[in-house]
Amino acid sequence: MHFELDPELQAFREEVRAFVRDNLPEDMKARQMAAGSIFCSHDDERAWAKILAKKGWQVYSWPVELGGCGWNAMKSFVFEDELYKGFAPPLSFNTLHMIGPIIYKLGSQEQKDHFLPLMRHGDVSWAQGFSEPGSGSDLASLRTRADLVGDKYVINGQKIWTSGAHEADWGFFLVKTDTTCKPQLGMSFLLVDMKTPGITVRTIPQINNDEHHLCEVFLENVEVPAGNLIGEAGKGWTYAKMLLEGERTGSSYIFWNKREMRRLLDMARAEKLNGNPIAQDPAFRARLAAIQAELTALEWSVLRVLADEEFTYGTAAASSVLKVRGSELQHAITEAQVDLIGEKSLRVYSVHDLLSDAGTLWPDHVVNRTNMALLTRAATIFGGAKQVQKNIIAKAAFGL
């Protein structure tokens, strides 16, 4: 055992910080600061991707020969940590960790030639079409089907919660290509141009009054070239599982949690209780200190996974720890932000105008905090709901 970070990483940290300082456009940063969300607008995501691409950092986690940076896990950790700290728009998880790896590992030469350069340059955005109205936690029960007719797949069905589908260029869909076998064996992975006739996208109004993120996708006789199949037909479930296992620490939202914790502390210094900064109030100090301790534990649990600790129990259990505590921390931090601003949390600010004025009598730090807290309720739902994570832990850690 040794617990020191490689000293070179400090220099790298400063390099990334300087890059963000010099290259992140002020208005983009201001929007990200106000929203604070784990999501950002399509335009900002694209524009920032192009800035990173110029530096060669857009697909940093990919293999070097494909434009990646070849950093080890710790260096990547420092990189993302600094981007978040500087309020850069979040990187495209789909490009970096989902469809990108799927294509470079399993895609046909044609798919690689077409999509990898687009992704490397930040020129394509993706939607993930897995969940369906009747298939959330129980993804294997999905019903959207794709029938091979000649050299085309014809897709019929419906997807839901397809984040960003209304603005995405492409979607990667999990569909049923064989209904005669065990559900997991009849699934395939298809790439779909979102402009294909037969696709209708409806945005879903959210709890924070945003209508620009979650979508429903209706597919009616959507014809997709057979060449858009990833790998082999019937292997879709295996590929999807591979995706989820390949990236084991993202679900902790550690960088987001750290940044929003910093915001929380800044708010505690700015807000007053009986005329004194809340940061000096024993009760609030105790509450925030307890959150800080959990956050520190989460960061070290992430580092243990990144440093490839050999666990005596199934690694799925260690990953689920990150998801459970990471999402609980997202709740704890946003709940504390709301409580810190007290009754001021009740005022609605438009999610569509992130730079809206706080109001003559209102401090700037209240803007959008409640919107973020409302959407953050989803943290324990998406990407494997909390109860399902606990089922996984019980099984992987104890064989229950």
Ligand X SMILES: Cc1cc2nc3c(=O)[nH]c(=O)nc-3n(C[C@H](O)[C@H](O)[C@H](O)COP(=O)(O)OP(=O)(O)OC[C@H]3O[C@@H](n4cnc5c(N)ncnc54)[C@H](O)[C@@H]3O)c2cc1C
140 binding ligand X? (CB under 6 A): no
User: Comparing C-alpha atoms, which of 189, 129, 103 is closest to residue 153?
Assistant: 189
| One character per residue 162-191, x = contact with other proteins (rule: CB under 8 A) | ------------------------------
Alpha carbon distance 10, 90 (integer Å): 22
**Which phi and psi (to 5°) does residue 92 adopt?**
-75, 105
Return the amino acid letter for 265.
L
Alpha carbon distance 144, 146 (integer Å): 7
Spatial CB neighbours of 322, under 8 Å, sequence gap ≥ 6 = 248, 249, 251, 252, 254, 298, 301, 302, 305
218 binding ligand X? (CB under 6 A): no
192 binds, among ligand X, other proteins, none (CB under 5 to 8 A by kind): none
Packing angle between helix 99-106 and helix 109-120, nearest 10 degrees? 150
18 binds, among other proteins, ligand X, none (CB under 5 to 8 A by kind): none
- Cα torsion for 73, 76, 80, 81, to the nearest 10°? 60
Q: Closest CB to ligand X among 81 and 216?
A: 216
285 binding other proteins? (CB under 8 A): no
User: At closest approach, how far in Å is the CB of 175 from ligand X?
Assistant: 12
Choosing from 62, 130, 172, 256, the residue that interacts with ligand X (CB under 6 A) is 130
Burial class (CB within 10 angstroms; exposed 0-12, middle 13-18, buried 19+) of 17:
middle
Choosing from 36, 67, 136, 157, the residue that interacts with other proteins (CB under 8 A) is 136
Q: Per CB under 8 A, which of residues 191..220 are in contact with other proteins? A: 204-207, 209, 214
Choosing from 14, 55, 56, 141, the residue that interacts with other proteins (CB under 8 A) is 141
The residue ranges that bind other proteins (CB under 8 A) are 131, 134-138, 141, 160-161, 204-207, 209, 214, 271-275, 283-284, 331, 335, 338-339, 342-348, 359-362, 370, 374-375, 377-378, 380-382, 385-387, 390-391
The residue ranges that bind ligand X (CB under 6 A) are 128-131, 136-137, 161-163, 214, 378, 381-383, 385-388, 391
